[in-house]
Structure 1
């Protein structure tokens, strides 16, 4: 989300494509180019008129936080209200400007802008512009009314504008007005000890000897790019400085070829004395003109030395030397028709073109490392520090609210390189092969779902240059599941009913078989129980009979014992009776 919003600030709010073109062109022509990245605090007051509104409608309007004032006029007859409304429109945002090199002042000995003790940005501004930017009117009025032509006569500016007539002085009609006359204003970033607490970075805005503003800052707002950097130097090199000697030598040789062609087409003639009736006819050299002679051999061309054949070889040698010095070959401008034939494969042609683009790749990597990464990081820092409102941006075809003030204060920047001939097609083909491989592997089918497929197809389309993926594919996360076809749905329902009927038949057959098994098991259990009970009854009957036999024996024994006891008792009674009858006995 942070990356998408930073890209939105760079490309949508500041025209990143045109900005990058200016920076790259400036670096190639001036050995270095610089962009200024800063937070522009801009609040515009907008006046709106309204009429015939009720009190409730007026209350709704005034409840808006952007309303800073109003002038109301009540109609006494209708009771409706009209008037003016003043809104405060906050248009503050990050600004990125490509600075002409004549406006930048740096010490010549610095290695890079980050460690420079002094950086100054000078611009032409009028008093009205300074007051509109919020500077103190009393300080602005102290500026001299004289015209400042320091930048107007700068040699680098005159050279940059020479091909469009910029070196011709044209008076500006607004220079006669004090408020619109241009003054050179310096925005200087210097490491100084301004308050006796140590060396710190200060931002000082001044014009002449008038200091308009000063404040302590944490960093300067400049980012630079050198296409051909030189170690330990801020200023790089350019191709012109490398090929000027070669071009001078080539100019001399080409001039000699042209002079020889002119002499060959317009040779000098020898004339025999008295052979011409009118010498002016030969001097005029008109196309189809007549020359009257008195004798046939009266005019003859003077011999001309032939052109040295080593001139063309020398030009070819200079071209080869130029390619060796600059690293830019003919292949970087397009393939020669002789380079493509049936004997050369596609891989060989791609290798030739890739080899010719090494210098461009080197400059592109320098652009990414020197300029893009610091630029995006500075833009990110500025929005985190100053963007207090919530923003809504388009991310992957959906409007998403973002709150930059809640993001982290520090982040790294990673640049993804896609350079060279056919690399986009090669990368897209790799994605296609990857998708085919993943789709054919059933063991990871659960890992390669619709969302993963969508991300893969999106990467393929974006690699091929189709940015608006939402026109062709919908994100599965925001898309409801597809509705089935009615006929297919009816067929599926019939299949489901048939499957349910088959399931019921199978369940019924299984239930019948289970009941039969249960009945058979019950029958077997009953038979086993009957046999067990029969055996138990017989066993009990035998035990009963044995017990009855034992009881009879025991009863007989008891009866015998009782009888014997009775007999013994009777005998005892007889003895007692005898004793009673015969007491003397």
Structure 2
């Protein structure tokens, strides 16, 4: 599958998911936003009549949210990891502390939870997105008045680059070490501006707006979905910073689809203007970006694998393919669902439970007020031709006079007040809302009518029953959404954090290195305290602490029922239940080893002290015994030393003999080798001498033969000359 076919397939998935979201969920979300603000656009009001609306959805969401936040945000320990094997003992505690620190301190955990819980209550699902942000972090910092050492230490960091630097020589008065008199001493002062670029990466968690999350049609959960997508608006500059091709990014056309969704129009209560018209810089133009995760057989091996595909730009075939990578992590999404429905992804929201209740109560309240208006200001029958000033009849003023030609020309039309009957229906609708949502008078406030003629136990039972559904919401949120979130967060930290990090835990600096942790440890989200009232939690904890104190007083601090560590945990939970977030300021965390050491120390202190004279005599005997043992040890050590010395001498002599023998063997072998080489050299020398002698004799013979031949030639020439003496020469003939 090439990039063109993959891009076309992803576009079809995105368009189908957008169509599914707009037809099934978008209008419901818009109506939930309007009902939350008290705007019932589907319930028209007549002109001149009451237009008041109730805000049942806002009231119920506003009362459930504090309970949920008290469950999960009352303590710094929102998640706890459990070991899967003996090798995870101790590591699970470190992982729990570190992930909780990162979530609350670096990821704005409180705001993330608040946004997700509010979305979940209003729309049914609150969606998280989590990822490891590896983009460099740029910081511009100014420092003034640095000394030489401080300046050198600052600029020696590899992550620091100096942008501006100015140094100045100043003087200060210091006492002379010899005379003690103040003298002027010069020193260098540095002013510097630096850029710090940190490339270590960091965990990011955010709550997505409901219109930004797309999921396939018919999905039952995020874990089982085969397609999920994050739809966002980003500037071209941010895409270039993420490493995408600059020319491709600049060719992406601007879009206004996400900005003009019905949810954003309803949320802002107006149509948002396209900000792109106000930017002359093309890098600051915003474009729609689709970060899609889907299963597809891209390589054609017959197995569909997960891939991350990033597409940006306008709708249709004009969207640009920015990235296409195989994805090996979990889907970077999780959702919290307070009231899930079986076999479908979308959960039931407070809007689903209260829409008809809010509409009925709004109608009844309008009718009640209209009836009250007519009862207080009744209508009038007037013969206008007999009234001189009809404006006073239409718009009466206090103390005004209506001028009539004769009495009886004006008569009030009495409207019976029947609105009191609607109060029972309004109360009935409150009961319906209470049964559906779990928010009652006991859970909202201290109602005197609810407490009349009731004992404290009865009131506590009623209040506990009213919290049961909110506790169910908290349990669903913990098990369905937050458990997956923190399990995936641990995997991201273990996989991508490539260096140790110093964090401040319990007023101590601790170095955390997650690279050796087990990334598959199971996560447990704490939902114990906070689901009910603080008074109830505190009362239960005080009862538990009282029983623990009795058991420890009677059976000791190391009894099999409870120990000091468990008692310390109860005290720390009491601090958390009171609303204080740092129990370490009041009670230290105690481990079983610390308890055991404390008990051993107490046992040593509780032992009876012996008589001083007996103790001195015992000490003297112990000293004498120690001296005797020391002498014996010294004698044994001397004998052992002599034995070791003798063994060492024997071993040295043996090694010396072996070395001498080895040396003699090596010398003999070397002499034999030299003799053989000498004999071989002599043989070769004799061979060379024989060859040279033969060559010399051959050359001598050749030379003698040559001399003989030349001599013979000369002799032949001499013997031939007398035969030619009778021949006259030219000189002799006179020519």
Provide Cα deviations, 1:104-135, integer angstroms capped at 9, x if missing partner.
11123110111111111111112111111222
The CA deviation at 1:203 is 0.3
Partner residue in 2 for 1:199: 304
Partner residue in 2 for 1:349: 459
User: Is the partner of 1:382 in helix, strand or coil?
Assistant: helix
Alignment match of 1:7 (pick from 100, 104, 115)? 100
- The alpha-carbon distance between structure 1 residues 200 and 346, as it changes in their structure 2 partners (threshold 3 A), is same
Gaps of 5+ in 2: 1-93, 169-187, 314-318, 599-604, 618-735
The CA deviation at 1:307 is 2.1
1:253-272 alignment, distance < 5 Å: 253-271=364-382
**Are residue 127 (structure 1) and residue 236 (structure 2) matched?**
yes
The CA deviation at 1:187 is 0.4
Matches of 2:419 and 2:139, distance apart in 1: 77
Alignment match of 2:198 (pick from 56, 79, 89)? 89
Matches of 2:151 and 2:404, distance apart in 1: 105
**TM-score, with length taken from structure 2:** 0.58
Partner residue in 1 for 2:516: 406
1:161-176 alignment, distance < 5 Å: 161-162=268-269, 166-169=270-273, 174-176=278-280
Matches of 2:401 and 2:149, distance apart in 1: 101
The CA deviation at 1:258 is 2.0
Larger Rg: 1
Q: Is the 8 A contact 1:113 1:222 kept in 2?
A: yes
How many residue pairs end up in the alignment?
A: 483
Q: Is the 8 A contact 1:23 1:34 kept in 2?
A: yes
Partner residue in 1 for 2:251: 142
- The alpha-carbon distance between structure 1 residues 283 and 194, as it changes in their structure 2 partners (threshold 3 A), is same
User: Is the partner of 1:433 in helix, strand or coil?
Assistant: helix
Matches of 1:56 and 1:262, distance apart in 2: 81
User: Is the partner of 2:523 in helix, strand or coil?
Assistant: coil
**Are residue 461 (structure 1) and residue 570 (structure 2) matched?**
no
Alignment match of 2:124 (pick from 31, 37, 46)? 31
Provide Cα deviations, 1:164-203, integer angstroms capped at 9, x if missing partner.
xx42536555444311111101101010111112200000
Q: Is the 8 A contact 2:132 2:202 kept in 1?
A: yes
- The alpha-carbon distance between structure 1 residues 41 and 244, as it changes in their structure 2 partners (threshold 3 A), is same
**Are residue 251 (structure 1) and residue 362 (structure 2) matched?**
yes
**Are residue 415 (structure 1) and residue 525 (structure 2) matched?**
yes
Matches of 1:46 and 1:504, distance apart in 2: 70
| More deviation, 202-211/424-433 | 424-433
Gaps of 5+ in 1: 483-491, 506-585
User: Is the partner of 2:525 in helix, strand or coil?
Assistant: coil
Matches of 2:164 and 2:410, distance apart in 1: 100
Q: Is the 8 A contact 1:435 1:456 kept in 2?
A: no
1:172-187 alignment, distance < 5 Å: 174-187=278-291
The CA deviation at 1:220 is 1.3
- The alpha-carbon distance between structure 1 residues 301 and 179, as it changes in their structure 2 partners (threshold 3 A), is same
- The alpha-carbon distance between structure 1 residues 314 and 195, as it changes in their structure 2 partners (threshold 3 A), is same
Provide Cα deviations, 1:501-544, integer angstroms capped at 9, x if missing partner.
79999xxxxxxxxxxxxxxxxxxxxxxxxxxxxxxxxxxxxxxx
**Are residue 438 (structure 1) and residue 551 (structure 2) matched?**
yes
**Are residue 396 (structure 1) and residue 396 (structure 2) matched?**
no
The CA deviation at 1:24 is 0.6
- The alpha-carbon distance between structure 1 residues 467 and 302, as it changes in their structure 2 partners (threshold 3 A), is closer
Partner residue in 2 for 1:582: none
Partner residue in 2 for 1:159: 266
Provide Cα deviations, 1:359-397, integer angstroms capped at 9, x if missing partner.
211211111011211111111111100111112223333
The CA deviation at 1:5 is 0.5
Q: Is the 8 A contact 1:431 1:460 kept in 2?
A: no
- The alpha-carbon distance between structure 1 residues 464 and 248, as it changes in their structure 2 partners (threshold 3 A), is closer
Matches of 1:345 and 1:417, distance apart in 2: 29
